[in-house]
Structure 1
Amino acid sequence: MKLQCIHYENFRNHRLLNFEPSYGISILYGPNASGKTSILEGVHYCALTRGFHNALDSECLYFSSDFFVLESSFLDATERATTVRVLYTKEKEKKIIVDKSEIKPFSRHIGRIPCITFSPAELVIVNGAPAERRRFLDNAICQTNRRYLDDLLAYKRVLQQRNALIGQMYEKTGSQKEMLAIWTDSLSRLAASIVYTRMQFLSSFLPLFQTLYQLLSPDEHPTIVYRCSLGKVFHDSSIDQLYSQFLVKFEETEREEILRGQTMTGPHRDDLLFLLHTREIKKYASQGQMRIFLIALKLSQHRLFSDILGEKPICLLDDLFSELDASHSNAIFRLLETCGQTIITSAENKPYSHVDSISIESLKGIKEM
């Protein structure tokens, strides 16, 4: 997948700006707070319908503007063009228009423009709360698996309904007990499908990740373990086996769930354990090791997407080389040369061969009004 061009109007700190990256590696360089990240974020909106790090649409408005518009054009591996227009106004809901047709719900667009991101803020995937790792895993699977995205959305709806019911069940009535059984069965089926898909994804992802990580840090041995709220789960478990396990677990914890007023088991409580040399990375690794771990996660995601989709995702890499030594930077560049279109932001120009360097100041000076 390649971005041909993107137009920004009233987006972040760009009132009017056009950007046309090369089809290989582009480095967008310039001072901090000059709008480099905003350019990546605009592409992210067009690919995934939202900004970085769950930013509110209203936060992306240019100063006192009432609206922003993003207009972009992409080419896939067969040279078929796709246009994406994102329009947001304070008075109306956001609109996503693809090839002149409005998309509703936005989830229908996910996967059409495969995209991989990196930013320093995403280090929370490695060293933050379990929710950050679940979000990474879910976002990765959703771009290649429509069924998973549908299951995930359905699971969130059923979970909300089940939590609302058990929050009212101080004393179980007959009708409440019957309704709880219905919600529990629905939740168990969806949970089984989600956990199964996550484990299948990781079984394909982990070998790629370990191979790629050791290209960056040959002396280190990483692994990823899926920590399931069910307890011990075998990687060859079927969906039916997981469904039965969930039913048993919910029966065991029903009383405690009613006392707490919340569902205590399910994929919304699971986690990924990131290890280096069998030790948990967020407890023992240096900042540099955690950064390399995250970069390896993202580049492995790119390779897996390419294998599954037959389409290389666009790479949007914000402040990629900060805090990295020359050896790691060179190793990453060698990997990126095979990744298709890559847009990197940097405070300084990086004099690498086969790289298109673009100054944010000259870009704004020529194309921003």
Structure 2
Amino acid sequence: MHIKHLKIVNFRNYKSSDFDFSEGVNIIFGPNGTGKTSILEAIYFLGISKSFRTSSDRDMLSFSEEHFHVFGEFYNSKKQKLLVNFNYQKDVGKKAFVNGEKLEKLTEIIGKIPIVILSPEYENISSSGPLLRRKFLDRVISLTDREYLKKLIDYRNILRERNELLKDYQRKAFFDYDVLMEAIDERLVDCAVYIYTARRNFLREFRGIVRKEMEELSGRVRIYDMRLDRESLEEDYKDVLKKKLLENFPRDVAIARTTSGPHLERLSIIFDGKDIRDIGSQGEQKIALVAIKLAEAEFIYNRLKERPILLFDDVFAYLDENHRQNLCCKLVSGCQIILTTTDKGVLAYFSKDVTVEAIELDVA
């Protein structure tokens, strides 16, 4: 997959701008504050329907404007064209169109344009806590498994319904596990089993890819692993979770919150026997993060047979000289790459045989 053309109107600091990209390596140069990250944000928005910098679409509006427009012209590996439009209107919301057809649900765009993003503003899972790590799992699996995305959305809706009922029981001081709660738990467990299984199947494949990327990036073998709290697949997980929900019901009512289920799973990133968040130096954490992102791209390709677009925001600031060189050698392996940097010296890290498209931004 690659993007050939991007047009953004009233988006961040861009009133109306067009950008063209090559199928290979693209580097966006410019001082801080010139809108480099906003270009990556617009491309990511087209593929995911969300920003990686903010949870509010309104934040992407140019100052004093009422709407923004983002358009992208994409081509897949079969040279098929994909025209994606997003229109956002203040106080109304956003609408998405693919090849002129309006999407009934924004989630329909997920997986059509595979994208991997690495940015200081987004998902530093090597040093983050449980919530961001779960979000990483859910996002990557959802890109390649639409049933997982459906089950995840259903699970969150049912969980919200269960927690609202728990609040009602708390107000009434009602601590009897009744048929209404049992019916909700049946639906919750059905979704939870799929999520539980899919996450473990994902990690079985993904951890091996990460190890390979770590070795190639760092040039040495280290003990590295990714695992969830309960690593093995339990055939009786459905019964185990049902039992937990029943046993924890009095406590759940007391705090008006569900305390069992995949929404609380913890993902550990193990480096030489311990979680990298606890023992890894900043340099090790950054290398691990880059390796995870490269592994994410490889995993997506293995599942979709389509190379994702790599959006790397100021990635060279993460790495020392040796790792920069190793990364640039890896970035010419078939994916379209769009990098941002303030340093034109990064061109020296690419082989003379590699064509690099340079996009230079000036201070407005």
Q: Does residue 1:321 correspond to 2:316, yes or no?
A: yes
Change (3 A) 1:242 1:173: closer
What letter matches 1:286 in structure 2? S
How far is the alpha carbon of 1:86 from its aligned partner?
A: 0.7
Contact 1:302/1:339 (<8 A) preserved: no
Residues 309-354 of structure 1: CA deviation (Å, up to 9, x unaligned):
1100000110110041111011111111114201000111222231
Q: TM-score, normalised on structure 1?
A: 0.93
Secondary structure of the residue aligned to 1:127 is coil
Residues of 1 paired with 2:183 and 2:267: CA distance?
Answer: 30
How far is the alpha carbon of 1:54 from its aligned partner?
A: 3.8
Secondary structure of the residue aligned to 2:319 is coil
Of the candidates 287, 290, 304, which is equivalent to residue 292 of structure 1?
287
The residue that corresponds to 1:138 in the other structure is 138
Residues of 1 paired with 2:41 and 2:50: CA distance?
Answer: 8
Residues of 2 paired with 1:26 and 1:124: CA distance?
Answer: 23
Secondary structure of the residue aligned to 1:94 is strand
How far is the alpha carbon of 1:145 from its aligned partner?
A: 0.3
How far is the alpha carbon of 1:284 from its aligned partner?
A: 1.0
- Counterparts of residues 122-161 of structure 1 (less than 5 Å): 122=122, 124-161=124-161
> Size of the alignment, in residue pairs?
356
Once structures 1 and 2 are overlaid, which stretch shifts more, 181-190 or 154-163?
A: 181-190
Contact 1:35/1:360 (<8 A) preserved: no
Contact 2:36/2:361 (<8 A) preserved: no
What letter matches 1:172 in structure 2? F
What letter matches 2:99 in structure 1? D
How far is the alpha carbon of 1:53 from its aligned partner?
A: 3.4
Change (3 A) 1:295 1:109: same
Residues of 2 paired with 1:181 and 1:55: CA distance?
Answer: 34
Q: TM-score, normalised on structure 2?
A: 0.94
Question: Where does structure 1 lack aligned partners over 5 or more consecutive residues?
Answer: none
Residues 47-86 of structure 1: CA deviation (Å, up to 9, x unaligned):
1111113431111111221111111111011111010001
Q: Does residue 1:307 correspond to 2:302, yes or no?
A: yes
- Counterparts of residues 1-369 of structure 1 (less than 5 Å): 1-122=1-122, 124-170=124-170, 171-172=173-174, 177-217=178-218, 218-227=220-229, 232=230, 234-235=232-233, 237-238=234-235, 241-349=236-344, 350-351=346-347, 352-353=350-351, 354-361=354-361
Question: Where does structure 2 lack aligned partners over 5 or more consecutive residues?
Answer: none
CA RMSD of aligned residues (A): 1.7
How far is the alpha carbon of 1:173 from its aligned partner?
A: 7.8
Contact 2:69/2:86 (<8 A) preserved: yes
Residues 20-68 of structure 1: CA deviation (Å, up to 9, x unaligned):
1110011111100101101111101111111113431111111221111
State the identity %: 27
Residues of 2 paired with 1:313 and 1:292: CA distance?
Answer: 20
Residues of 1 paired with 2:103 and 2:359: CA distance?
Answer: 34
Change (3 A) 1:289 1:79: same
Residues of 1 paired with 2:54 and 2:239: CA distance?
Answer: 35
Residues of 2 paired with 1:274 and 1:58: CA distance?
Answer: 34
Contact 1:123/1:291 (<8 A) preserved: no
